Structure 1
Amino acid sequence: MPLVEYQPIGDIAVLTLNRPEKRNAMNDAMLGDLGVAVDRAAAEAKAAVLRARGKHFSAGLDLAEHVEKSLMQGIFGSRGWHAVFDRIRYGAIPYFVALNGAVVGGGLELAAVGHVRVAEPGTYFALPEGQRGIFVGGGGSVNATRLMGAPRMMDMMLTGRVLTAEEAERYGIVNYLAAPGGAFDKALELARVAAGNAPLSNYLIINALQRIHDSGHDEGLFFESVAASLTQSTPEARQRLRAFLEKKAARLPIPNGEEARG
């Protein structure tokens, strides 16, 4: 049985962490299975949902496997996490992450490389590396810090602070709060919406936006102009724009019920 299960649902790839007896703690074998599933999703899906089997999304790094690793083994292991996680964050399709229970350490690092995160009540978030005498190694210093900012990241790592789902939403870690047991359904709903977008638009949204954010002002604006022109020049974009102008496209569902023209 793979430690990351793969299930296609229409155009959506559902990736499920499958080590519930260990609270889905990430070991080398699970990381390898995750890489295989990510590559398959990139080849055949238009969007993906990442979830976990059991009561917890992921309790993080499997410390029993890593405690005896040498310095170089630790470095190569960390870089292995980066390689797989970057194929999610900078991949071909958007990832929607359904969170429940523990999202701790490496589990939070994994959640942070998704593009949209949905959490159920009772989900909790922590970075206890400081108390363990270690440092984040799965890209959290870059990816989780981008979500919440360096001061909040330092607070969590220095003090072992545990965030509720509601606090994580205020911190920018979580995008949506779901009903109890509803994180997967909400994530799947959002993934289906994204799968209906133009593939090139999705690719640039998840790849260009992050790089623009990390670049200088002038470089960012230049990159934006190129990305905008690339998308607008495609036959699919022209068809979608004509449908909108001819009032054949769905309008935005805004809360007060008025018709939106966006």
Structure 2
Amino acid sequence: MSDELVTYELDGPVALIGLNRPDKRNAINEDVVCALRDAVIRAGEEADVGVLFGHGSNFCAGLDLKEALARAAGEAPRPRKRRRHSWHEVFDIIARGPIPFVAALHGAVVGGGLELATAAHIRVADESAFFGLPEGQRGIFVGGGGTVRVQRVVGYTVMADMMLTGRLLTATEGEREHIVRYVVPTGDALDKARELAAKIARNTPDTNWRITNLLPRINDLSHDDGLFMEYLNSNMARAPETAERLREFVEGRAKPLVAPGTQLD
């Protein structure tokens, strides 16, 4: 395993980005954020899909509390000027950048780890995963975009319960609350995430960009404005590959869709 805080591997069109502080349960500090930013930007330039995962026994246990304590105690130097929160910047590059991301989750996915996971577009958990927002019990508040991103995924009542009581959700409960879309046996999350990423990579880059950038913005609009943006999008110029894919379908050369569980000869 590399000594780097964040590992990076390119597997064909898929970039594999791994948090690499297993002895700290992949807790996030400012150095990790900087390394993650570099990896995510690189993936956007040379890959079609990204996969986020954690080395060791956990995806991410959230904020590095030693760093948080230094700030709370006034021991960390304060910047001369206010600037955008580094976590917000990096997580937004993941959520609304040039490529889709799949998160492979196992073990602890709590606090900032859950905020990072919800920046991804598809989330896969194995049965060891558990989810929580323990900031309330630490005397702090979410700061990595959770008030927006996590709340939009699970809703206010679920997020309030998790923060007020410290409740932890199992992988099955996480699926029920829409934190994850897939639950797989322990140890299989990364393989499933890579499988999904390879499938997503077969879409056109333009289509993937519209799904990950237009859909969330349309969701924030009124009904009429959303339909108007959809109309504008549907009338934008398309890549030449779009016409070829439509021609394949019309001429019967495209792979047919089948219902889940259908046995193919």
Instruction: Specify which of 108, 114, 124 is matched with residue 108 of structure 1.
Output: 114
Residue 86 in structure 1 maps to residue 92 in structure 2:
yes
Q: Which residue of 1 aligns with 2:170?
A: 164
Instruction: Specify which of 183, 202, 208 is matched with residue 189 of structure 2.
Output: 183
Over 3 Å counting, the alpha-carbon distance change for 1:238 and 1:150 in structure 2 is: same
Q: Which residue of 2 aligns with 1:148?
A: 154
Over 3 Å counting, the alpha-carbon distance change for 1:187 and 1:10 in structure 2 is: same
Residue 95 in structure 1 maps to residue 97 in structure 2:
no
TM-score by length of 2: 0.93
CA distance in 2, matches of 1:32, 1:198: 30
Residue 43 in structure 1 maps to residue 48 in structure 2:
no
CA distance in 2, matches of 1:257, 1:21: 44
Structure 1 residue 72, shift from structure 2 partner: 9.1
Residue 249 in structure 1 maps to residue 254 in structure 2:
yes
Q: Which residue of 2 aligns with 1:59?
A: 61
Aligned length: 258
Q: Which residue of 1 aligns with 2:200?
A: 194
| Structure 2: gaps (5+ residues) | none
The root-mean-square deviation of aligned C-alpha atoms, in Å, is 1.9
Q: Which amino acid aligns with 2:18?
A: T
Q: Which residue of 1 aligns with 2:241?
A: 236
CA distance in 1, matches of 2:235, 2:121: 23
Over 3 Å counting, the alpha-carbon distance change for 1:134 and 1:183 in structure 2 is: same
Q: Which residue of 2 aligns with 1:10?
A: 12
More helix by share: 1
Residue 220 in structure 1 maps to residue 222 in structure 2:
no
Over 3 Å counting, the alpha-carbon distance change for 1:195 and 1:76 in structure 2 is: farther
Over 3 Å counting, the alpha-carbon distance change for 1:194 and 1:256 in structure 2 is: closer
* 1:227 alignment partner, SS class: helix
* 1:219 alignment partner, SS class: helix
Over 4 Å off, 4+ runs:
70-78
* 1:96 alignment partner, SS class: strand
CA distance in 2, matches of 1:258, 1:234: 34
Structure 1 stretch displaced more, 249-258 or 212-221: 249-258
TM-score by length of 1: 0.94
| Conserved 8 A contact 1:60-1:106 | yes
Q: Which residues in structure 2 correspond to 1:129-148 (within 5 Å)? A: 129-148=135-154
